[in-house]
Structure 1
């Protein structure tokens, strides 16, 4: 499975045709501050909905951590959006215990963003382009640290229109 997006083959993803406008439901950063996806405009965003009680989510978290590390210097952001009941209490400790130190903590405190995206199950990953458009999605786990996936993200980030 791969999506063809702007001439770039993106492994693991299903292309979105005629996407709805990107939801702007707020979610929380590690400091408990409300942010929205608009705060990441100009970045390619890999938005992953996950929870500590979700076995497939737990399985793919090391790959998401490796993806975040590999793309740290690129205009690419990995948002691992925790859906646990008390995400700002649960997620930071869980990530530390697992040795996953390249992922920032983000919390969907009331599952508002998951509902806005109509997430049917976890993990679900949404690929968002630098102009804030939903490009593709994946329901289920994937090998996010795969070199071909990382290369595709970098190509999409290169195609971002220059400011001005």
Structure 2
């Protein structure tokens, strides 16, 4: 039954999330799927995000999908961390997750990790929605995106408030300082690999 539910959810994401408006400040709008050539080219365009600032993740609190506490210590010992902000209603986010899962494995021995930042699990009162977390875990399992996914704590809300589209992806070094620019929109595996290689050169 869960597999059937997830299939229906994914189908709805692919058709509905492009026009979905945010209902809470912590649920950013999703970028539109490729419906026209013009829209597709806009999705692929690199856009600087207002949230990309030095030291953006130098100190933070969060939890993983299993409820374990997470903070900036996850960055230590990693040359580069790719933070992919996504939402359960976002078709483009879900579509790129299999590629991100593969990249997480391929770049692990190069000191690179990928972290998913789930943007729609927090209610307006700051509590975490158990049903959203369960749905997120089902999506992770179905897409093979077997890297760390975190739910932001209160001190990360300012970051989410500034992100207006998902997926949004940015990179930080082991101190939490932003590396390069941020990227709005989904990309395929080869495109992300090229960007990761470029970011590795910047932290070398």
TM-score, normalised on structure 1? 0.70
Is the 2:75–2:175 contact (alpha carbons within 8 Å) kept by the matching residues of 1? no
What is aligned with 2:36? none
Measure how far apart 1:30 and its partner are.
Answer: 3.5
Measure how far apart 1:90 and its partner are.
Answer: 2.0
Is the 2:98–2:145 contact (alpha carbons within 8 Å) kept by the matching residues of 1? no
Measure how far apart 1:41 and its partner are.
Answer: 2.8
What is aligned with 1:141? 186
What is aligned with 2:197? 151
Structure 2 unaligned runs (5+)? 1-45, 122-128
Measure how far apart 1:14 and its partner are.
Answer: 4.6
Compared CA separation, residues 92 and 145, structure 1 to 2 (3 A): farther
Structure 1 unaligned runs (5+)? 1-11, 160-164
Measure how far apart 1:56 and its partner are.
Answer: 1.6
Is the 1:66–1:145 contact (alpha carbons within 8 Å) kept by the matching residues of 2? no
Measure how far apart 1:156 and its partner are.
Answer: 4.3
Compared CA separation, residues 72 and 114, structure 1 to 2 (3 A): farther
What is aligned with 1:35? 70
> Larger Rg: 1 or 2?
2
Return the structure number with greater strand share: 1
Alignment root-mean-square deviation, CA: 2.9
Equivalenced residues, count: 145
> Greater shift after overlay, 124-133 or 113-122?
113-122
Residue deviations 1:59-107 (CA, integer Å, cap 9, x gap): 2212211211211222111001122333432222221123x15323322
What is aligned with 2:108? 72
Compared CA separation, residues 19 and 140, structure 1 to 2 (3 A): same
TM-score, normalised on structure 2? 0.59
Measure, in 2, the Cα distance between the counterparts of 1:84 and 1:107: 9
Is the 1:49–1:114 contact (alpha carbons within 8 Å) kept by the matching residues of 2? no
Is the 1:32–1:88 contact (alpha carbons within 8 Å) kept by the matching residues of 2? no
The one of 127, 135, 142 equivalent to 1:97 is: 142
Measure how far apart 1:21 and its partner are.
Answer: 3.1
The one of 104, 113, 125 equivalent to 2:156 is: 113
